[in-house]
Structure 1
Amino acid sequence: MELTKWAEELDAKVAAFIARSWEQETNEAEFNALALEIFAYQFEANDYYRNLCEQLGKYPGQISHWSQIPAIPTQAFKESVVASIPVEKSELALLTSGTSDPNLRGKIFRDRSSLANIIQANALLTKKYCFPDRDKMTMAMLIPPPEQAPGMAMAFGLAQLVKNYGKEDSRYFISTQGLDVDGLLTFLQDAVKGQEPVALVGATSGFVLFFNHLRQLNLRLELPAGSRVLDGGGYQGTFGAMTREEFYQNCQEFLSVPAYMCVNVLGMSESGTNYIDNVLAEVLQGRTNVERQKITPPWTRTVVVGLRTGQPLPPGEIGLIRHYDLTNRATVLAVQTDNLGYLTANGFEIIGRAEQVTSVKDFALGLGHRCSTVVDGMLAHSHACSTVMDQILKKAGV
């Protein structure tokens, strides 16, 4: 079959699968069939990926389960073009996440139909886990708008969030000039006066910087009930050390937003689906003692593999997190991250980041790790890698 037609048919199948997947008790057989077909397509369409698969001895028709599909490490996207589409036909090109060496940052290419599936999937997740109780909210965005940060995956994704769930008075408070502290304070104080719940949304580093300002001003805000904090994008200590637990304490102390109304989102340029904390949705359904975890949605699978063996580990054991995502048709289905974590009952949690490795092939085999800044929040043991947001705020001199 001609590759363009094959791609369109695959994306149509994935779109239908995503639309109905929450309603099915089990979808393993259908997921497996789709994953294997996407693997066969990517083997044909992606020269870089095919070469790696051949080195590993993995071929379509010779594997029977999605877990046998070779994963590409995030490092590969920084060193090569890893695309299963002609890049000249891409609808969107996003920068890979920043690394300790900014010269190693590459691009992720998406075509129209694969991008539509990514937008559809993340809109469903955002509604379910971030706004299950509201159709629209006023939002304070602690991230630059996409036109000021072209290619930044987080800026693109959050622009979709504002479009779908933000009220017209939502505003951005970070630009190339830095964080507009005065504007943000006025915005939030008006929300307090009007008793209108707000959502503070954006990069973790932006929140940490704002907390620092509030501490210096000795100022505390009591945001209306129903207000929430949605953060992501990683934080490597640019504006002072802060663990994830301390972040939640700051949300309570400075904003009067309890920890269960704080939702962390793991988003990766290299993979289409966002992974979102479950706590807000659980509490609003009356379940208050549920473990915080990032839910694996039905159109994805997440496994944790041993650092040296590359073999799957049972729930609770710490290893490298690997994602299999049906929305990744335009790149590669399976993405090996350098995030350290463990499987939970319905998803996974991240606890840190792995160290550096020597080669993409070793990483694909699970034999080592390399520095990347794709991480979902404050990591108590993180090391000093730069992020796009940190660089923007640092350049602005804040």
Structure 2
Amino acid sequence: MKEFDTHRIFNIAHTEDFNALALDVFRFQYKNNKVYKQFCELLKKSPQKVSHHLEIPFLPISFFKTHRVTSTQKEAYTLFTSSGTTQSITSKHFVPDIALYEESFQRAFKQFYGKPEDFCVLALLPSYLERKGSSLIYMVNSLIQKSEHPDSGFYLHNLEELHQKLQELEQNKTKTLLIGVSFALLDLSEQFPIALKNTIVMETGGMKGRRKELIREELHHILKQGLGVDSIHSEYGMTELLSQGYSKGDGIFTTPPWMKIITRDTEDPLTVQPNRKTGGINVIDLANIYSCSFIATQDLGKTHPNGSFEVLGRFDDSDIRGCNLMVL
């Protein structure tokens, strides 16, 4: 199998570059990904019938739970798995080239926030630390190591210790990034309120069954009050992706050049929604070259003309129409 020139992924300069590369990736994955090819064939979509990235079929994300979605014959890989209950089936993302993931999140972080070396990076991610195979833990651990700050590190349930560390960093006016899962940040803000002036607070979403689900506005309002910040940043990523979108407040996310969000009609998954209209979130992640770059998620959202997007919630199973068009 001929390997793909991955250097092209991170050198996109214009919209035309993205479209051309997306079509090349589609051709590569159609040829080398058996699961994706069968899905495309069922839709009667082939590279010969697709001339724009909006016409490329999006594989339902649930296939990562039931199939090995790969576009390579390489046997060595890093396995990322999603969180889930003991009864649920978890997603599995086989990543044969971990350097692609590292380059993707490092470039994106630098684009949106600058160099990790400029931060003390604190991670409050108990639900992720308590299991193996988290792509988020892999990313944050790398950022912690690259920050090279002696106080950078992970926190599990030791909220009082984290509170004391934040106080020390604030007194020293240290530029800090606190990245945490929603329920743990809520616990911190309620049990140990603080006024953070030099700290970016970034939530990664998810109550993980630990607390009642909240809409974004309510969650961010509580966190802003308890942690004394003007805005709450957010990260949009998932096990099945190798790229992330970031929001610096108000729930408006932007993506790096090799990632694009498109929304689909909730009743007709093959129809693209216009900007500002709610639909199912489809993700093009060109860094996913060795799995599938075109994924239909179970998130609801809307896009904006400048390429930014919002996440508004998730589909109920009963709301998904025509997404799983086949059983392989």
TM-score by length of 1: 0.74
Partner residue of 1:122 out of 85, 89, 105: 105
Aligned ranges for residues 1-398 of structure 1 at < 5 Å?
A: 3=1, 6-7=2-3, 9-14=4-9, 18=10, 20-21=11-12, 24=13, 27-86=14-73, 88-90=75-77, 92-98=78-84, 102-112=87-97, 115-129=98-112, 131-132=113-114, 135-144=117-126, 149-165=131-147, 167-174=149-156, 179-214=157-192, 220-223=193-196, 225-235=197-207, 238-259=210-231, 262-279=232-249, 292-310=251-269, 311-344=271-304, 345-356=306-317, 362-363=322-323
2: CA distance between counterparts of 1:76 and 1:116?
A: 24
- After superposition, the C-alpha distances for 1:245-300 in whole angstroms (9 at most, x for unaligned) are 233333332222211xx210011111211010144xxxxxxxxxxx6511132212
Higher alpha-carbon deviation: 238-247 or 346-355: 238-247
Q: Distance in 2 between matches of 1:251 and 1:44?
A: 47
Corresponding residue SS for 1:327 = coil
In structure 1, distance between residues paired with 2:129 and 2:223: 29
Q: Distance in 2 between matches of 1:319 and 1:298?
A: 22
8 Å Cα contact 1:294/1:348 also seen in 2: yes
Conserved 8 A contact 1:272-1:327: yes
For 1:274, the aligned partner's letter is Q
Q: Does the residue aligned with 2:180 lie in a helix, a strand or coil? A: strand
| Cα separation, 2, equivalents of 1:293 and 1:69 | 25
Aligned to 1:387: none
One-letter identity of the residue aligned with 2:80: L
Name the CA distance, whole Å, in 2 between partners of 1:304 and 1:88.
Answer: 34
SS of alignment partner, residue 88 of structure 1: coil
In structure 2, do the counterparts of structure 1 residues 358 and 349 end up closer, same or farther at CA, with 3 Å as the change threshold? closer
Query: For the residues of structure 2 that align with 1:144 and 1:326, how far apart are their CA atoms?
Result: 30
Q: Is the CA contact (8 Å cut-off) linking 1:205 and 1:235 kept in structure 2?
A: yes
**Corresponding letter in the other structure for 2:100:** N
Contact 1:81 1:106 in 2 (8 A): no
| Identity fraction in percent | 23
Divergent runs of 4+, >6 A: none
1:72-91: CA deviations, max 9, x gaps?
A: 1111111111111236222x
Q: Secondary structure at 1:332's aligned position in 2?
A: coil
Contact between 2:81 and 2:92, CA under 8 Å: does it hold in 1? yes
Q: Is the 8 A contact 1:321 1:337 kept in 2?
A: yes
Instruction: State the TM-score, normalizing by the size of structure 2.
Output: 0.89
Cα deviation, 1:110-136, whole Å, max 9, x if unaligned, reads 112xx323322222221232x349842
Shift of 1:364: 5.2
* SS in structure 1 at match of 2:171: helix
Q: Aligned pair in 2 of structure 1 residues 300, 189: CA closer, same or farther (>3 Å)?
A: closer
Q: Distance in 1 between matches of 2:34 and 2:259?
A: 24
- Aligned pair count reads 324
Preserved CA contact (<8 Å) 1:145 1:159: no
In 2, Cα distance between the equivalents of 1:68 and 1:97?
31
Matching residue's letter, 1:276: Y
CA contact (8 A) 2:70 2:292 kept: yes
Residue 237 of structure 1 deviates from its aligned partner by 6.0
Alpha-carbon shift at residue 209 of structure 1 (Å)? 2.4
Contact 2:91 2:240 in 1 (8 A): no
With 234-243 and 155-164 compared, the bigger mean Cα shift is at 234-243
Mapped to 2, the partners of 1:134 and 1:110 lie a distance apart of 24
Alpha-carbon spacing, 1:314–1:101, altered in 2? closer, same or farther (3 Å): farther
Q: Distance in 2 between matches of 1:117 and 1:302?
A: 20
1:340-376 superposed Cα distances (whole Å, 9 cap, x missing partner): 11112331101111111599x93156x9xxxxxxxxx
Give 5+ residue unaligned stretches, structure 2: none
User: Aligned equivalents of 1:313 and 1:200: distance in 2?
Assistant: 35
